[in-house]
Structure 1
Amino acid sequence: MITKKRKVLLAAQRLFIEKGFRSTSVHDIIEEAKISKGTFYNYFSSKNECIIAIIENAKEETLIKRRELHTQHNVSNVNILIEQMSIRMNIYREYNLFPLFASIIHSQDVELRDLIKKNYFEEINWLSKRLEDVFGDQTKDVAIDCAVLALGMIQQLQHPWIKLDDISFEQLIKFVLRRIESIIYEMATTNDSLLKQSYFEIQTEDTLITKQQVIDELETFYLEHKNNLQKNEQQAIEFILEELPKEKPRIFLLERIIPVLSEAFTESTFEKKTYSILNNLWELIDSWGVEKS
């Protein structure tokens, strides 16, 4: 079953791709989704909020799937990095975000352009850390440069004028990372760095989510949907709700249980609804790691 909010987002997404987001009005979205004006404004205050929700959904799905791979495999394995990078590109293709991003970048909408900029900076910071995981601590001072170079190469190889219909995202990323591997050690040895980490600092007022917020969010979901959940889904949620309140939750067990829960919800009626919950769970666990380091 598709919720009304999801129905609105799907309609908006279709129109943004077909007409462009500047040419799409709230009235167009209402007509496409076959809903009332009141229903639309019950979920979104503006067209921009629709775009932001679409981008945030894609971002959360990407973070969850990447984090699960991070937990289950050796982070220094370049093939895991390739798979993590492919996840983002496949999800963005599924959500048709590439043409939407291009349209936003060339628009005059400051709010949306800032959102795209923030996403780009987050990807640079994530990739620089992952390059350091794969190629070693000695590459730390040039990892930012190489992350920018890698994403730049990927972007240019995806240029609309270049037809790569027979080349998968995985093949493209493998090629780019081979090029990065050929230069990253030499750059580190000669300390040939152009960019600074500070260039990609993200100004945000967001605060880290608290343990109690995560517990409340998961508990509310559980109470609302318990009767519609499978036995293994119920058990996974009950375990997490039992473990989280402890003074020292067993992180290694949570890292095993959360992917099980995520897999159980994949392609279920709860998949989209649980993205925020799962993402917040991973953010909470990662924040504990930061506090201990």
Structure 2
Amino acid sequence: MSKTEEQGKELPVLGDAAPKRDLPSTPRGLRTRASLVAAARTVFERDGFIDSRLTDITKEAQCSTGTFYTYFDSKEEALAAVLHEAQEDMLHPGPPQEHHENRSVIESLDAGNRAYIKAYKRNAKLMLLLEQVAAVDPEFRQLRLDRGQAFAKRNCKWVRKLQDEGYADPSLDPVMSASALSLMVGRMAYYKYALKQPGWGSDDLLAETATKLWVNALGIPADGSRRGD
């Protein structure tokens, strides 16, 4: 099993928030469903989930309402499909689970933060939409919470690894530290890219700041060496 497949197994699937059907068995059916998913994302991001209508989606996809119901039972199920399609990109794991042999721990952490921030920026409208729906739909709200916990759990493994290897402060609780730092970077990206908070500077500044805060919070030496070296 590849590392990507292993990571995917750790995360709840956004498509589980709504009833799922088997994928179409014909190339034409797959194309039609893909067209509907793309159209739904366009409409949801443009109009918001609450104000969007099925007729807007079918108009965007240039198909009939009956065709929509061939593949989805509701707007919620269409949204789940949109989120499922985007999850590999928008839900990047963030900090790496091991540092590259040609990178220091800090460089690896910085690379992970930059990859996460780029993915978030690409999908900022969708992330804002997920916040909107989670506020009114308990299933999507629970799913959002579950996914956040899954990421914190995975980042916790990396924090514990850094502690075991002598890079991070061993007195820190890895679960609480990973949860707090994961939330911090996620909200930074949310305010900058989804809410478009003014005065937040460049993408580089956001990534550099996030990495410095991780490094300082975990007590990693500024030169990336092991503590006490």
The reply to whether TM is greater than 0.5 is yes
In the alignment, what sits opposite 2:197?
162
SS at match of 1:3: helix
- AA of the residue aligned to 1:150: L
Q: Could you tell me which of 155, 173, 183 is aligned with 1:152?
A: 183
Q: 1:115 to 1:173 in 2, by over 3 A?
A: same
In the alignment, what sits opposite 2:210?
176
Do the aligned residues in 2 keep the contact of 1:104 with 1:112 (CA within 8 Å)? yes
SS at match of 1:124: helix
Alignment TM-score, normalising by the size of structure 2: 0.64
Q: Could you tell me which of 1, 4, 8 is aligned with 2:36?
A: 8
Deviation at 1:49, TM superposition (A): 1.8
Give the aligned length.
182
Once the two structures are superposed, what CA deviation does each residue of 1:201-257 show, in whole Å capped at 9, x if it has no partner?
Answer: xxxxxxxxxxxxxxxxxxxxxxxxxxxxxxxxxxxxxxxxxxxxxxxxxxxxxxxxx
Please tell me the root mean square deviation across aligned C-alpha atoms, in Å: 3.4
In the alignment, what sits opposite 1:37?
65
Structure with bigger RCO (C-alpha 8 Å, 6+ apart)? 2
Q: Could you tell me which of 115, 131, 145 is aligned with 1:102?
A: 131
Deviation at 1:103, TM superposition (A): 0.9
Output the CA distance in 1 between the equivalents of 2:63 and 2:171.
Answer: 52
Q: How does 1:180-195 map to 2 (within 5 A)?
A: 180-185=214-219
Once the two structures are superposed, what CA deviation does each residue of 1:58-97 show, in whole Å capped at 9, x if it has no partner?
Answer: 223467x769x76893497332333333333323332332
Deviation at 1:148, TM superposition (A): 2.5
Output the CA distance in 2 between the equivalents of 1:143 and 1:114.
Answer: 23
SS at match of 2:51: coil
Unaligned runs of 5+ residues in structure 1 are 187-293
Q: Could you tell me which of 60, 64, 73 is aligned with 2:100?
A: 73
Q: 1:143 to 1:72 in 2, by over 3 A?
A: closer
Do the aligned residues in 1 keep the contact of 2:36 with 2:68 (CA within 8 Å)? yes
Q: 1:51 to 1:92 in 2, by over 3 A?
A: farther
Going by fraction, where is helix more abundant, 1 or 2?
1
Output the CA distance in 1 between the equivalents of 2:87 and 2:201.
Answer: 26
In the alignment, what sits opposite 2:87?
59
Unaligned runs of 5+ residues in structure 2 are 1-29, 221-229
Deviation at 1:54, TM superposition (A): 2.1
Deviation at 1:147, TM superposition (A): 2.1
Output the CA distance in 2 between the equivalents of 1:121 and 1:154.
Answer: 14
In the alignment, what sits opposite 2:15?
none
- AA of the residue aligned to 1:172: L
Structure 2 residue 174 is the aligned partner of structure 1 residue 143 = yes
Deviation at 1:111, TM superposition (A): 1.5
In the alignment, what sits opposite 1:198?
none
Query: What is the aligned-residue identity percentage?
Result: 20
- AA of the residue aligned to 1:73: H
Output the CA distance in 2 between the equivalents of 1:105 and 1:51.
Answer: 12
Q: 1:183 to 1:83 in 2, by over 3 A?
A: closer
Deviation at 1:155, TM superposition (A): 4.2
Output the CA distance in 1 between the equivalents of 2:156 and 2:132.
Answer: 27
Alignment TM-score, normalising by the size of structure 1: 0.51
